[in-house]
Amino acid sequence: MYQKTTLKNGLRIITVPQKGTQAATVLVLVGTGSKYETKEINGISHFLEHLLFKGTKKRPTPMAITETLDRVGGIYNAFTGKEYTGYFAKVEASHLDLALDWVSDIYLNSLLPKKEIEKERRVIIEEINTYLDMPMIYVGELWERLLYGDQPAGWEVLGTKENISRIKRERILNYMKNQYVASNTIICLTGKIGSKAVEKVKGYFSEMKTIKSRPKSPVIEKQNKPQSLLYPKKTDQAHLALGVRAYNLFHPQKYTLELLEVILGGMMSSRLFMEIREKLGIAYYIKTNSEINPDTGYLVTQVGVDNKNVKKAILTILKEYKKISQKRVPQNEIKKVKDCIKGKTALLLELSDAQASFYAGQELLEKKILTPEEIFKKIDKISQSDILKVAKDIFQPQKLNLALIGPFKDKRKFQKLLKL
């Protein structure tokens, strides 16, 4: 069972002891990401994440930072999203103190050396180039750009090459000073962590600043007809993302949306996998995901197909969207999907790092935590009628969106297909 402790400075500590493991994970999650940026500094959250690995007073070089945990076989990394940034270390449990010392050191004491900033600009620009050369991934970025346009929710987490080239060290320092504060930070310890875990965290983090962080701008959503975005690129395979606007994190039917995702394309026996890969044989990968954030949400299917099969793929996806919004899902299929979700969650949460993300993520985004068992009870209550109601609500022509990467010049022929 988890325990939550809030310090006087606003810092939240979550501890989740696990039996039967030799691993321990320390995760620091801060409530800032690209949605908290302005256009002039888009990309700064991710830039800062990179720079925290470049040196502290105690560990003055990148080698000193990385070698600390390499010496004990630790797994460590960082990540930046639109809502948050995270830093974690996973170690054999006897090295928990070392992991805490390491994570707190880079989070609180990073020096952001000027020469490393200049070097890292080039690294991040190459990272941007990498994503541009990976249409299977980049189509997801285009999808969100199509949905949200020129506002933080529609900008890329990595930022633009122009911004990365010109952001000054002073801007990065100010951003860190204003966002990396106690009230905006969660420390989560999971695994074999012992009875003194909270006291250990206090020893490293109790002196953090208590100022308020900068809030994010609200997301504006407007759509009254199907939309499409074409990214012309010479490719042997076209990649597309086709889906609909849906629900945010606080919507009462968010778990029903998760069931819809799995029914349509969340497992190898899902409807779209069987139709597009097994029956038609036109794609290697086909998947449906739902994304729910505090202020927005969507359901989207992604697939890569031969350029000549784009129309067939679009029409097949739309056919399944229409079918599920008109006909009740059989009870045996609903049971399979519920059992799939519960089974996968249980397997995932055997890992201490997954536990840390599960608990800290809920606390950060929702300000409350449900245990897996509490979530499973909500899933078990979802009925045929709930699924049909949600499908009817979201699968409407005016909510359809299509992002496409491929060697095409005119999006109109694909736009005309967006009907239900």
Residues 106 and 170 grouped into a single domain = yes
- Expressed in percent and rounded to 5, the helix, strand and coil fractions of the chain are 50, 20, 30
Q: How far apart are CA 36 and CA 83, in angstroms?
A: 8
Predicted local confidence at residue 70, as pLDDT: 98
Which parts of 72-178 are beta strand (E)?
A: 75-80, 85-92
Q: How far apart are CA 150 and CA 154, in angstroms?
A: 6
Residues 162 and 264 grouped into a single domain = no
From 246, 207, 220, 250, select the one nearest 367 (Cα to Cα). 250
Asked, for residue 43, whether it belongs to a domain, the answer is yes
Residues 172 and 239 grouped into a single domain = no
Asked whether residue 392 carries a pLDDT value surpassing 90, the answer given is: yes
Residues 57 and 150 grouped into a single domain = yes
Predicted local confidence at residue 240, as pLDDT: 98
- Residue where a domain stops, chosen among 205, 239, 264: 205
From 160, 163, 113, select the one nearest 141 (Cα to Cα). 160
Q: How far apart are CA 329 and CA 323, in angstroms?
A: 10
Residues 337 and 249 grouped into a single domain = yes
Asked whether residue 275 carries a pLDDT value surpassing 90, the answer given is: yes
Asked, for residue 212, whether it belongs to a domain, the answer is no
Q: How far apart are CA 360 and CA 355, in angstroms?
A: 8
Predicted local confidence at residue 164, as pLDDT: 98
Predicted local confidence at residue 113, as pLDDT: 96
From 117, 98, 100, select the one nearest 53 (Cα to Cα). 117
Residues 48 and 145 grouped into a single domain = yes
Mean pLDDT of all residues in 120-143: 97
- Render 372-419 in DSSP notation, one character per residue: HHHHHHHHHT--HHHHHHHHHHH--GGGEEEEEEES-S--HHHHTT--
Asked, for residue 284, whether it belongs to a domain, the answer is yes
Asked, for residue 221, whether it belongs to a domain, the answer is no
Tokens of 156: 């890329």
Residue indicated by tokens 């009817």: 392
Mean pLDDT value across the chain: 97
The answer to whether 76 and 25 have CB atoms below 8 angstroms apart is no
Helix (H) or strand (E) holding 303: strand 297-306
Q: How many domains, in total, are found in the chain? A: 2
Q: How far apart are CA 244 and CA 260, in angstroms?
A: 12
Residues 306 and 356 grouped into a single domain = yes
pLDDT confidence bin for 1, thresholds 50/70/90: confident
The answer to whether 68 and 98 have CB atoms below 8 angstroms apart is yes
Residues 113 and 255 grouped into a single domain = no
- Render 215-258 in DSSP notation, one character per residue: PPPPPP---SS-EEEEEE---SEEEEEEEEE---TT-TTHHHHH
- The pTM of this model reads 0.95
Question: Over the stretch 3-56, which tens digit does the pLDDT of each residue have?
Answer: 999 999 999 999 999 999 999 999 999 999 999 999 999 999 999 999 999 999
pLDDT confidence bin for 206, thresholds 50/70/90: confident
Q: How far apart are CA 38 and CA 74, in angstroms?
A: 35
Asked, for residue 44, whether it belongs to a domain, the answer is yes
Predicted local confidence at residue 67, as pLDDT: 98
Range of the domain at 290: 227-415
Tokens of 5: 């402790």
Residues 196 and 345 grouped into a single domain = no
Phi-psi region of 161 (alpha: psi -120 to 50; beta: other; left: phi over 0): alpha
pLDDT confidence bin for 209, thresholds 50/70/90: confident
Asked whether residue 95 carries a pLDDT value surpassing 90, the answer given is: yes
Residue indicated by tokens 């501890």: 15
The answer to whether 343 and 177 have CB atoms below 8 angstroms apart is no
Q: What is the CATH number of the domain that holds 80?
A: 3.30.830.10
Exposure class string for 115-138: b at 16+ Cβ within 10 A, else e: ebbeebbeebbeebeeeeeebeeb
